[in-house]
Each structure stands twice: as structure tokens, then as C-alpha cells.
């Protein structure tokens, strides 16, 4: 009689990249790409933050994230877009994530992100991985992008084409 074979199922290393992504920028996409190189699955998780009033609705942001990734990372099969409300650590636990990705652009980002990482580790013992985007994106953030778009500046070098188009539509109505 042949011995039973044990089939080992590899553990999937899943990571959460949270943010409001209002809108998603080339800097965000750079961090997502770096995370995708390190982990088996990346969940781009749109935080439904009650203290912020986003320009784009939850559905618009989800669609923009998906479309932007198709434009920039057409072979991104192990990247998923989702949304959550409540505590990030609760969402990470529900998703069986082993880590949280946070992008660090400049030194001033570090203090806040470090505090959040320590609190998340205290609450759920989850690791935070800090990723630096390419230096050409260190000055980018969604607030600056929205402000530039509002006044008609060319933002095509900072965001995917789908985001550029959607921002033009949004501000032409105002």
C-alpha cells in the first residue's frame, strides 16, 4: 500500500494598501507595483473616512483605481481593489493580511505613520511595511493633484489618463 501523500498548500502573503485614493496618482501606483513585487496579493483598500469629504464617490474611486491599474499595470492579476470602513486592523484581520503597506514620501510623513504602525501592532500585532516611491513622486499627493486640476493645470504627468480625464470632467461641471 502506497503511503498517503500530504499536499502542502502555500500560504498566501496578503498585504493591505489603505488610503482614500481621491484620486489615485502615479505615486500610489508606484507603491502598489512595489508591494506587488513583494507580496502574493495586494489589496488596495479605499478607506471610507468620515472626517474627509472626498471629491469622488466611493464607487468612482474604486472604478478609477481599477481602470488606472489596467492602464499602468495590465498584468496585475494579484492586485484587488476593495473598500472598508472602521478600523484598518479589523479589516486586515478579516482579510487575513500579514501586513499593511504605507508609502513614505518625505520625512514629515514618518512621524504620523510610525505612530499608526505602533498602534496597529498593539491592537492586532500586524506588521507595517514602509515603502518609498520613486523619487519623482515624492512631492505628489491627492490634495495637490485636486488643487492643480481645479485650476486647469496640466496634471497628465502625475496621474493615469483615466484620472486626468475624470478630473477634467469633474471640474468642468463646477
- Checking if the pLDDT of 8 tops 80, the result is no
Higher per-residue confidence, 7 vs 16: 16
Q: Does residue 4 register a pLDDT over 80?
A: no
In tens, the pLDDT along 148-166 reads 999 999 999 999 999 999 9
User: Domain-by-domain residue ranges, the chain?
Assistant: 14-138
What would the pLDDT profile of 82-127 be if each residue is shown by its tens digit? 999 999 999 999 999 999 999 998 777 888 899 999 999 999 999 9
**Nearest-10 crossing angle of helices 161-172, 142-150:** 50
| Cα distance between residue 150 and residue 167, in whole Å | 8
Q: Which fold has domain 14-138?
A: Rossmann fold (3.40.50)
Neighbours of 164 (CB within 10 A): 18
The residues carrying an active-site annotation are 28, 52, 105, 142
Rounded to whole angstroms, how far apart are CA atoms 15 and 129?
9
* Sequence-ordered list of residues with C-beta below 8 angstroms from that of 33, at least 6 positions apart, any chain: 72, 73
pLDDT digits (tens, 9 = 90+) for 37-96: 999 999 999 998 767 789 999 999 999 999 999 887 766 678 999 999 999 999 999 999
Residues facing 42 on adjacent strands = 15, 79
Q: Is the pLDDT of residue 10 over 70?
A: no
pLDDT of 74 reads: 65
Determine if residue 48 is left, alpha or beta; phi over 0 gives left, psi from -120 to 50 gives alpha, anything else beta.
beta
Amino acid at each position: 500500500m502506497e503511503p498517503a501523500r500530504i499536499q502542502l498548500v502555500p500560504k498566501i502573503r496578503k498585504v493591505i494598501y489603505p488610503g482614500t485614493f481621491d484620486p489615485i496618482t502615479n505615486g500610489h501606483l508606484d507603491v502598489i507595483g512595489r508591494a506587488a513585487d513583494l507580496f502574493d496579493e495586494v489589496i488596495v483598500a479605499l478607506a471610507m473616512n468620515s472626517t474627509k469629504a472626498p471629491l469622488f464617490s466611493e464607487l468612482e474611486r474604486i472604478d478609477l483605481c481599477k481602470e488606472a491599474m489596467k492602464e499602468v499595470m495590465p498584468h496585475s492579476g494579484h492586485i484587488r481593489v476593495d473598500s472598508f470602513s472602521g478600523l484598518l486592523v479589523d479589516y486586515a484581520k478579516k482579510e487575513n493580511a500579514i501586513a499593511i503597506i504605507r508609502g513614505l514620501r518625505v520625512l514629515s510623513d514618518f512621524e504620523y505613520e510610525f505612530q499608526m504602525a505602533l498602534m496597529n501592532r498593539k491592537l492586532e500585532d500586524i506588521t507595517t511595511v514602509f515603502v518609498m516611491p520613486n523619487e519623482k513622486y515624492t512631492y505628489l499627493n491627492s490634495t495637490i493633484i485636486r488643487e492643480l486640476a481645479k485650476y486647469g493645470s496640466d496634471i497628465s504627468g502625475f496621474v493615469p489618463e483615466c484620472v486626468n480625464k475624470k478630473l477634467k470632467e469633474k471640474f468642468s461641471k463646477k
